Amino acid sequence: MNRIYCCYPGGKHKALTMSYDDGRTEDRRLVEIFNRYGIRGTFNLNSGLWERGDRIDPEEIPTLYRGHEVACHTVTHPTIARCPLPEVAQEVIHDRAWLEGKTGYAVRGLAYPNGSLSREIETLLPACGIRYARVVGSSDSFALPENPYRWEATCHHNHRLMELGEQFLNLHKRQYLYLMYVWGHSYEFTNLDNWELMENFCRMMGGQEDIWYCTNIEFMDCMDDFARLRFAADNSFVTNPNAGDCWITVNDGDPVRIPGGAAVSLS
């Protein structure tokens, strides 16, 4: 029987994604750095805090974050584990609706405000249209998330960023899928006067042929699409019911593209 491995787009086995919170004005500089080196990520925004002078103008959202993902961070950034569940639902859904009015696409991700969560909130989020939610902390790992509603990043950018980045670049065993996920707040670079840290990281990580540069939701959609592939019992063929392409390897051979809506022989 064929041995099948799922791959990232293009047959790649490493992915890099970023996640930054609060929509502060420093996002402008951060996005410019990302775009210069081909790095992509997710920006988690609060729809109820735009009148503060340290936030970007709401009208910038469609252009500033083009090519990246806009995700929820709740309307007012409460510590939601202390809130009634109906209030949590409103904080998430109203944030989604407002952000969707700016972006023009379905907003399906969340970063927990203040890192606050509970088992009940995890259970609630799918009914609010949320596909994944990021916690705070650093796993120091390149493993894929086991629970997308408790998605822990590899590291905060002030935690071993360059060291972990070098380790990631040196991962070459293609029988595994690896993910490096970095999170933080753009204002922290100003507060600590260490913008060169992100500049150096993106310069080091950008332009690598074996890395897929993705947003958080693109990563999750890739995993979901692979889970929907329909393989024959003996892995001799596969049908892709998704709209987009999927990628696999067969018996450690070259990557195979499975076009959306197609059936492909693997024999």
- Residue range 6-55, pLDDT digits in tens: 999 999 999 999 999 999 999 999 999 999 999 999 999 999 999 888 99
- pLDDT tens profile 199-222: 999 999 999 999 999 999 999 999
- pLDDT tens profile 108-129: 999 999 999 999 999 999 999 9
Alpha helices in 65-109 (DSSP H): 85-103
Q: How far is CA 19 from CA 70, 155, 257, in A?
A: 10, 10, 29
Amino acid 99: pLDDT: 98
Coil vs helix vs strand at 171: coil
For 56-60, which contacts have Cβ atoms below 8 Å and span 24 or more sequence positions?
Answer: 56/23, 56/24, 56/25, 56/27, 56/28, 58/102, 60/28
- Is the pLDDT confidence value at 262 over 90? yes
Backbone angles phi, psi at 51, to 5 degrees: -75, -10
Tell me the average pLDDT across 88-98.
98
Q: Residues 148, 188: contact at Cβ < 8 Å?
A: no
Strands (E) across the chain are located at 4-7, 14-21, 41-45, 69-72, 109-111, 132-134, 155-156, 178-184, 211-213, 230-231, 237-239, 246-250, 256-258, 263-265
80 pLDDT band (50/70/90 cuts)? very high
What sign results for the dihedral spanned by CA atoms 102, 66, 104, 73? Answer: negative
Q: What is the CA radius of gyration of the chain?
A: 19
How much is the mean pLDDT over the chain? 97
**Helices 161-169 and 195-205 sit at what angle, rounded to 10 degrees?**
0
Which domains are present in the chain? 12-224 (3.20.20.370)
Rounded to two decimals, the pTM is 0.97
What percent of the chain lies above the pLDDT cut of 90?
A: 97
Alpha helices in 6-156 (DSSP H): 27-37, 61-64, 85-103, 119-124
- pLDDT tens profile 54-70: 999 999 999 999 999 99
Tell me the average pLDDT across 214-234.
98
Tell me the average pLDDT across 147-162.
98
Amino acid 267: pLDDT: 85
